[in-house]
Amino acid sequence: MAALEALLEELRNNRISKLRLPLDAHSDMPQLLHSLTRTCNDNNNNSSTMILEEVNIDIYESFRHRADATTEILELFEVLSASPKLQRLWVDSGREGSPFYTLNVEALALVLRRAPQLSRLALYDVELAGNRAQWTELENAVRTHSALQNFGLVQCRLAEDTYEWSTDETNTLRASLTLAAAAADNVDNGSNDNDNRSTTNVDGFDPSLILEEYEPNTCYALNHLVQNCLANCAWVELLGQEFEALGELTPTALGSLGASSSLTKLTLDYFDLRDRHITALSRALETSQSLRELAVTCELGRVGCTAVSQLLFINTSLTNLTLQLNDVPMYDDPTVIEEIAVEDYNVEKSRDPTLLIAKALETNQTLQYFCLKGYAQISRKSREAFATLLRHNMTLISCELDLQRSPSPSDDLQREADMFLKLNELGRKELLEGPDIGDDNCIERHFEESIPQK
């Protein structure tokens, strides 16, 4: 532990503010905890100038086999949270490709309660475990933490015990809502012309609508956290290790998150997001003045594409949009892909709803980066529309279509699109509409600024 003692001595002497802790089977946890505790106590007693602001914990596979691994991690989080200036905390399972470390959410709740300046919390390749009470503690800690700005779960998953209690909770909720909806229907059917009031409207509560939000036998452990606890966060990143590894989210939860006035960046991947989810999120984001970047993996139909196009028509803050489409055809019959290419445009438009997004991009004035990717199949006409939209759009400087199962535009159209993207980057909008600062040589000015300096 000589190296560790030397590191902690540097912390006490205010030489460094970042600490990386690789934990494995050979880690001397009692000594580590003792040294960190003494350092933090010295700091709280004003006898040290330690400014520990960032901690990166790498938990290697061999660490999980220790007899008291869970207790030691809880004690480590408790000690670290005593550092009054802790601002960033990352937890990783160690080397790439190693098995997941199972972390009880109690540890996260603990550090959030005791580290008032913590602004960034991110977990990578970690399995989250905990019972309902422990998840509720985490939700409360996140909701009441005023400094937390970035919250990320990247390539993470939920533990089996979490999946079990959450799925049981979903099925119990659905059962009670089904009974409530049936009772409401009975009241409605028994009402007369003079009294046609429904019990579903007395308190603004419609059990049938809520029932539609929750799929049976599905885990929604993250749902309450997303819906009610992330309002202060500017950056939210939720990426499962695989499909549904983090359970699912309801449209209401996504709408609530999108309505946050603090949100500037949102990434959602490996959730089963469909039209109703994207519609709820898009409608909430239409009037957002804060959101800058949005990346979503989803399955889009006509309703979802319409919602995204409306978002692009109305929103004035979004500058970066990435849509990754699941493996589905974007038109009615996947067998007519070659026929669609030569059919009338109006017929084509009725079949491939992604044309709505391309049309919205023609007039959008704020988006600079757009990416449509995945394995979904879009028609040739739609692919061409995404290339020709740059004849009208003067703000996009990147318009990428990486759809591996869809036809490519002609070489001429691709060269034209590349040309317009370069002109946009160099200042086409300023040249054609007139710069606010009276610069008649805006393209030359941008070109000179883009040349690397020696």
pLDDT in tens, 224-238: 999 999 989 999 999
Q: Backbone phi, then psi, for 403, in 5-degree steps?
A: -110, 105
pLDDT at 289 over 80: yes
pLDDT at position 133:
96
Sequence length of the chain is 454
HSE of 386 in the Cβ direction (CA atoms, 13 Å)? 24
Provide the 3-class DSSP secondary structure of residue 133.
helix
**Mind listing the pLDDT tens digit for each residue in 382-439?**
999 999 999 999 999 999 999 877 878 889 999 999 999 999 999 998 888 775 544 4
Q: What is the pLDDT of residue 281?
A: 97
pLDDT of residue 13: 63
Listed in order, strand segments (DSSP E) in 97-220 are: 101-104, 120-124, 126-129, 150-158
Give pLDDT, residue 318.
97
At 213, is the secondary structure helix, strand, or coil? helix
Contact between 107 and 81 (Cβ < 8 Å): no
d(CA 381, CA 340): 7
Mean pLDDT to the nearest integer, 161-178: 92
What is the model's pLDDT at position 97?
64
Q: What's the rounded mean pLDDT across residues 229-255? A: 94
Q: How many percent of the chain have pLDDT more than 90? A: 55
Q: What is the distance between the alpha carbons of residues 136 and 143, in angstroms, rounded to a whole number? A: 11
Identity of the amino acid at 322: T
Q: What is the mean pLDDT of the chain?
A: 84
179-199: average pLDDT? 61
Distances (CA, A) of 231 to 96, 151, 304, 383: 32, 11, 24, 37
Contact 130, 105 (CB under 8 A): yes
Q: Is the pLDDT of residue 155 over 60?
A: yes
Summarised one tens digit per residue, pLDDT across range 292-321 is 999 999 999 999 999 999 999 999 999 999
Q: What is the pLDDT of residue 135?
A: 97
**Under a CB-based contact definition with an 8 Å cutoff, are residues 232 and 263 in contact?**
no
138, containing H or E segment: helix 132-143
Q: What is the pLDDT of residue 425?
A: 93
Task: Return phi, psi of residue 150, to 5°.
Answer: -120, 130
**Token duo for residue 440:** 């008649």
Q: Which residue has the tokens 């036809």?
A: 407
Longest pairwise C-alpha distance within the chain? 85
Per-range mean pLDDT, top range of 84-93, 256-265, 372-381, 406-415? 256-265
Overall average pLDDT of the 218-225 stretch: 94
Residue with tokens 């983090």: 246
